[in-house]
Chains A and B, each alone.
Chain A
Amino acid sequence: MCSVHDTVEFEKLGTPSTTIVTKAFIKAAEFQFRAKGMLGHPYIEIPHPVSNLSAVDMRELTLRYVDDVVLHLTRL
């Protein structure tokens, strides 16, 4: 869960950050946020899997969640 660690480190530096987590890794992400003292920090849940998506499908998925990313980063 390197993305959780990155989020925590960015937040410590005062830079708003969020994490995108596929559904299958929610437990792992929450465990990491708890371990790093940031349980409850908002993240964005997306469907699983993504590793088998074509470039076109990946772009479509990205467009579905890009507003959430902007919202998380500007709200924090």
Chain B
Amino acid sequence: MNEHFDEFEFFLEKPWSDGLPVVTPTEERISNMLSATSRDSDEIIGPIPPAMEIATVSSVATHAVMAGCKPEYLPVVLGATELMLREEFNVNGVQGTMHGVAPMMIVNGPYALEIGIHGGSGCLGPGFRANASIGRAIRLILMNIGAGLPGISSMTVFGMPSRFTYCLTENSEYNPWESLSVSKGYSADEDVLTMAMVESPRFCWDDVSDEPERLIRGIADTMSAMGSWNMHARSDMVVAMSPQHAEICYKSGWTRDEVHTRLIEVAGRTVSNLKLGGNWRRERALALPIPVDPDDSECFVPAIKNSVDLQLIVAGGWGPCTAVCHGWSGGSRAVHSSYQV
């Protein structure tokens, strides 16, 4: 670097960053990153909306370098890039929308633990390189290859901190149940990614409940916020119970499925309550994929319209807290897949 050239400023001025300095993607660093995969560097991953520029193994590796990834993180970044391009995930819609969701990456399986993806205390950051840089690589790909640029091609009203990075694994040490991926039919030793377009978490802090029904009532209330899209469309949701909250249910003999089912049964509002504010519209109610009578004031509208839309995980450290992440409109469906290590 000469005295007139600052590489960090160069990337910030282009702008080829998320607003923070990036690691300069030198040929040596990119080559080192690519050593973590046997895939051809020219292999096409797919077009990244809205610009529809083509992501390749090489360009994904370049952004992994820029985000601060270790080479061993690359298989996760490649897997996530491929997965998020599935049509039902609708990255194109999210890149342009006024809303502000981000692709949360839930990484299950032995490789996540091997490379240090964190699922315990403080797992949504800051402080953990794998979580921080893998999620950041996805964001840089969305911005630099996809051109999802706030105020230009992205009309997000606020954005949100989780748009910098949104990656975690479950707390496998203290999860009393099967993992999210096992609940979807994968084996415990498969490396699996689940991605859901969700908002930053809203915490349900409950240090009072000592039995599942009361605990779930509180979480369900957080799930059914009047201004969330979940009350007005078929939207995804991630609910991350802390090990302490999960243990309350487990010790009462509840399975993961039973908690999942009960949350869906309880989380919601009546039509008369929904009419008091938020996004209620008669046309929206009639367009829901479940029967809702807008003229029946006692008709119950659940926050989760289809059981596959609720991703229930156990993550975080010890403490009486559950994180609820609401979804976006009706336009994105969570996706999951094993990925190549």
Within 8 A of A (CB), among B64-110: 92-93, 96, 98
Known: A31-B153, A55-B283. A24 touches B147 (CB 8 A): no
Judged by a CB distance under 8 angstroms, whether B133 is at the interface is: no
Between A4, A31, A55, the greatest number of chain B beta carbons within 10 A of the residue's beta carbon is seen for A31
Do B98 and A24 touch (CB < 8 A)?
yes
Main secondary structure of the interface of B (DSSP, over half): loop
Min CB distance, B85 to chain A, in Å? 14
CB < 8 Å neighbour of A5 from B52, B152, B281, B282: B52
Contacts of B185 in A (CB 8 A): none
Do A28 and B154 touch (CB < 8 A)?
yes
Do A31 and B283 touch (CB < 8 A)?
no
Instruction: Pick 18 A–B contacts, CB within 8 A, sort by A.
Output: A1-B50, A1-B92, A1-B153, A2-B50, A2-B92, A2-B93, A25-B155, A27-B155, A28-B152, A28-B153, A28-B154, A31-B149, A31-B153, A32-B51, A32-B153, A35-B50, A36-B52, A54-B283
Do A27 and B152 touch (CB < 8 A)?
yes
Between B93, B96, B283, the greatest number of chain A beta carbons within 10 A of the residue's beta carbon is seen for B96
Contacts of A55 in B (CB 8 A): 283
Judged by a CB distance under 8 angstroms, whether A52 is at the interface is: yes
Flag A50-61 by CB within 8 Å of B: 1 or 0 each: 001011000000
In the bound complex, how far is the Cα of B154 from the Cα of A28, in angstroms?
7
Judged by a CB distance under 8 angstroms, whether B126 is at the interface is: no
Judged by a CB distance under 8 angstroms, whether B151 is at the interface is: yes
In the bound complex, how far is the Cα of B52 from the Cα of A36, in angstroms?
9
Contacts of A25 in B (CB 8 A): 96, 155
In the bound complex, how far is the Cα of B280 from the Cα of A54, in angstroms?
12
Known: A1-B96, A2-B92. A32 touches B283 (CB 8 A): no
